[in-house]
């Protein structure tokens, strides 16, 4: 005895509507974004990556500063972050 099973495949189309905003930036800012853009990364992803990194840095420094035993470490960490901004690596 053979059993036949009919399988039906359904395709669902999901439309996600995302708001888009147009911003005006200088040529210099655009070039900086372009330099920081990774392969297959959108400009939106570049901005989110950079800004989320900055937030984490600020949170870390704030947390270290809030502990009086670690306040010297907070100053050192902030100094390292500031010095890293001036490093320009080109490969």
pLDDT in tens, 3-33: 444 455 655 555 667 677 888 988 988 998 8
- Asked if residue 14 is part of any domain, the answer here is no
Look up the domain containing 66 and give its range: 27-85
- Asked if residue 68 is part of any domain, the answer here is yes
Query: What pLDDT score does 91 carry?
Result: 60
DSSP 69: G
- Asked if residue 77 is part of any domain, the answer here is yes
| Total count of domains within the chain | 1
- Asked if residue 42 is part of any domain, the answer here is yes
User: pLDDT (tens digit, 9 = 90+) per residue, 54-70?
Assistant: 778 788 888 888 887 88
C-alpha distances in Å from residue 25, one per residue of 1, 31, 32, 36, 40: 72, 10, 11, 15, 22
Q: pTM for the complete prediction?
A: 0.46
- Asked if residue 38 is part of any domain, the answer here is yes
- Asked if residue 65 is part of any domain, the answer here is yes
Mean pLDDT of the 80-88 span = 80
- Asked if residue 22 is part of any domain, the answer here is no
- Asked if residue 37 is part of any domain, the answer here is yes
| Higher per-residue pLDDT: 91 or 43 | 43
């Amino acid at each position: 005895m053979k059993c036949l099973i009919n399988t039906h495949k359904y395709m669902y189309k999901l439309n996600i509507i995302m708001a888009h905003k147009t911003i005006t930036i200088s040529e210099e800012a655009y070039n900086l974004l372009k330099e920081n853009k990774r392969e297959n990364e959108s400009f939106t992803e570049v901005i989110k990556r950079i800004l989320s990194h900055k937030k984490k840095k600020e949170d870390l420094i704030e947390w270290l500063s809030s502990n009086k035993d670690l306040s010297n470490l907070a100053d050192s960490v902030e100094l390292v972050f500031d010095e890293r901004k001036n490093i320009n690596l080109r490969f």
